[in-house]
Amino acid sequence: MIPLNLADLARRAATGHRLLAFDFDGTLVPIADHPDAVTFSLQVYRDLEELARWAPVAIISGRSRADLAARCPPGPLLLGNHGSEGLPDLAWIESRAREAAGLWLPRLRRRFTGGGCWVEDKGLSLSLHWRAARDPARAEVVARRLTADLWPEPRLVDGHLVLNLLHPDLPDKHAALLHLLQHHPAAMFVGDDWNDASALASTDPRIHGVQVGDLPLGAPWRLENQAEVGRFLNLLLHEVQHHA
């Protein structure tokens, strides 16, 4: 994992007609105590909107696509539910995933609500949150135990103080990037959390991972913290415009 000069990293990312892909929470916006409380920096919002006028840009998030659409500027391709919502040709699995999430939801809400714990319904997937729990370690144990006897058995995707439950046939962020690479020669992906690791640590030479922060996510390049994302995005915009 190499921390690079931001200008050097922006120059690398701007060349080769790469798809420029970003996670949302913890990457484009700071983490908040509740998903509804996140706010875009006005500069980041404007730079992202302008960048999408000059280069292919995607936002790949655990949030639902409708949630992203209500928060993000026009222009970027929006893929929700960890990359599974917004890709073409997935209608066959979306209905199955919604059905499974609908079966899991009432049981989990009865048993994982209160004490700072709650269940987020994202349509195709669910998330168990315990950011506000008094005993986060115990809340995580309970969350994992509750998923053990669900049917169909969910695929678990870790995050910081959250556990995501996906239908086993849904793609993850890495699979979503591979799908998008059918139309682009290469991609840069910027993310910060465990649910980004499959893309950040990809061994596909066309995918260039840039992680935010110090978690051992396997990316070859690193930004120090979320505040650096805004500076990097601004430099990237100028480099893309220069190479256009």
Count of structural domains, the chain: 1
Reduced to 3 states, what is the DSSP secondary structure of residue 111? Answer: helix
* Chain centroid, CA 4 distance in Å: 22
In a domain, 175, yes or no: no
Q: How far apart are CA 212 and CA 22, in angstroms?
A: 11
In a domain, 184, yes or no: no
Amino acid at 112: F
Q: Residue 1 pLDDT more than 70?
A: no
In a domain, 29, yes or no: no
* Chain centroid, CA 64 distance in Å: 10
In a domain, 38, yes or no: no
In a domain, 134, yes or no: yes
Domain that holds residue 131: 92-166
Work out whether the CA dihedral 100, 101, 105, 108 comes out positive or negative. positive
Tens of pLDDT, residues 103-126 = 999 999 999 999 999 999 999 999
In a domain, 202, yes or no: no
- Across the beta sheet with 2-3, the strand order is 2-3, 221-223, 207-212, 187-191, 19-22, 57-60, 77-79
Using 50, 70 and 90 to split pLDDT, how confident is the model at 14?
confident
In a domain, 240, yes or no: no
Tens of pLDDT, residues 126-174 = 999 999 999 999 999 999 999 999 999 999 999 999 999 999 999 999 9
pLDDT for the residue 102: 97
Q: Is 143 in contact with 109 (CB distance < 8 Å)? A: no
Task: Provide the pairing of β-strand 187-191 with 207-212.
Answer: parallel
In a domain, 34, yes or no: no
**pLDDT averaged over the chain?**
94
pTM of the model: 0.93
Rounded average pLDDT over 214-231? 94
For the ranges 1-5, 64-68, 165-169, the lowest mean pLDDT is seen at 1-5
Rounded average pLDDT over 202-213? 96
Higher-scoring residue by pLDDT: 33, 80: 80
Q: Is 223 in contact with 211 (CB distance < 8 Å)? A: yes
